[in-house]
Chains A and B, each alone.
Chain A
Amino acid sequence: DVKVTQSSRYLVKRTGEKVFLECVQDMDHENMFWYRQDPGLGLRLIYFSYDVKMKEKGDIPEGYSVSREKKERFSLILESASTNQTSMYLCASRQDVSEAFFGQGTRLTVV
Chain B
Amino acid sequence: AQSVTQLDSQVPVFEEAPVELRCNYSSSVSVYLFWYVQYPNQGLQLLLKYLSGSTLVKGINGFEAEFNKSQTSFHLRKPSVHISDTAEYFCAVRANAGGTSYGKLTFGQGTILTVHP
Contact = CB atoms under 8 A, between A and B. Distances in A.
Interface residues of A, number: 24
B110 A97 contact: no
- Secondary structure at the B interface, as helix, strand, loop or mixed, is strand
A58 interface: yes
Interface residues of B, number: 25
B61 to A, nearest CB: 16
> Among B45, B103, B108, which residue has the most Cβ atoms of chain A within 10 A?
B103
B43 A102 contact: yes
Interface in A12-48: 31, 33, 35, 40-45, 48
B56 interface: no
Contacts of B32: 97
Question: 4 shortest A-B CB distances, which residue pairs?
Answer: A102-B43, A43-B107, A102-B44, A42-B109
Given A42-B90, A90-B44, A105-B41, 10 more contacts: A40-B110, A42-B6, A42-B107, A42-B108, A42-B109, A43-B107, A45-B104, A101-B46, A102-B36, A105-B42
Interface of A: 4, 31, 33, 35, 40-45, 48, 50, 58, 90, 92, 94, 97, 99-105
